[in-house]
Amino acid sequence: MDKTEIIIVAATFFLAGIVKGVTGMGLPTVAMGVLGALISPLSAAALLLVPSFVTNLWQLLASPGFTAVLRSLWPMMAMLVIGTFLGAGLLAGGDTNRSTAVLGLTLVAYVLYSLCAGPKHVPRSWQAVASPLVGLATGILTGATGVFVIPAVPYLQSLGLGRDALVQALGLSFTVSTIALALALGLHGALSAGSLLPSLLAVAPALAGMGIGQGIRRHIHPATFRRGFLVCLLLLGCEMALRPFR
């Protein structure tokens, strides 16, 4: 990468880290949204792997109770891995227009759901069937777009978990998604050891942004920040979805 590209990547992960620090999520979504508008979604996905893994592992291990969360959600995680391998062919296939459009539509769907949908609750009796299906759907979209949030985040929020358990469940889902995406792209020959070096360098700005975001959270209501972030993400997603038709 030249100097300009390095600055853009660092600024993107710094911004993504701020969003994650304030809201507890959003690093891969912001990184894929911004970088996917500038470079191919495949290149953007390769860049987010290491900072996403580091920040999500930190989130996963920050609270006790990891074993209980894993025991509850392992069917969803297993199907998430399978789905990621099934979907990664689109991202690794080199069809930039199609993968960009799918990424844009995914961002739009995520924003519209987040802005418009009310709280949902999935009964415990449904979870044995719903969890694997949600994991499979999330995995396919993760493999195809590099974005981990749909439908995993709304589903996990609907389970009635306590605050710490929800943070760990999100951290588990994002961590598994990152590892599965890296393995799937490697299996398709779309990821090399050399391509991980820029991703490794993106960890520092992402962590710096997270620290600042956690400080911002004490001075601005997270819901207000989140709405502004979602509106910007909606505009970006619309532009990406429409780009192949221009």
Phi, psi of 41, deg, nearest 5? -55, -35
For residues 243 and 72, give the distance between their C-alpha atoms in angstroms, rounded to a whole number: 41
Structure tokens at 114: 């987040």
What's the rounded mean pLDDT across residues 95-100? 69
With CA atoms as reference, report the closest residue to 42 among 139, 142, 141, 145: 145
- Rounded to whole angstroms, what are the CA distances from 82 to 129, 159, 184? 16, 22, 9
pLDDT digits (tens, 9 = 90+) for 219-237: 777 677 777 777 877 887 7
* pLDDT for residue 245 is more than 80: no
Q: Omega into 151 within 30° of 0, i.e. cis?
A: yes
**pLDDT number for residue 230:** 76
Q: How many structural domains are present in the chain?
A: 1
What percent of the chain stands above pLDDT 70?
Answer: 90
Tens digit of each residue's pLDDT (9 = 90 or more) over 183-205: 998 888 877 767 778 888 899 99
With a cut of 90, say whether residue 80 has pLDDT above it.
yes
Secondary structure string (H, E, C) spanning the chain: CCHHHHHHHHHHHHHHHHHHHHHCCCHHHHHHHHHHCCCCHHHHHHHHHHHHHHHHHHHHHCCCCHHHHHHHHHHHHHHHHHHHHHHHHHHHCCCHHHHHHHHHHHHHHHHHHHHHCCCCCCCHHHHHHHHHHHHHHHHHHHHHHCCCCCCHHHHHHCCCCCHHHHHHHHHHHHHHHHHHHHHHHHHCCCCCCCCHHHHHHCHHHHHHHHHHHHHHCCCCCHHHHHHHHHHHHHHHHHHHHHHHHC
Mean pLDDT of 7-22: 88
Domain extent, residue 30, equals 3-245
* Residue 129, pLDDT score: 92
Distance, in Å, from the CA atom of 42 to the CA atom of 143, rounded to the nearest integer, reads 10
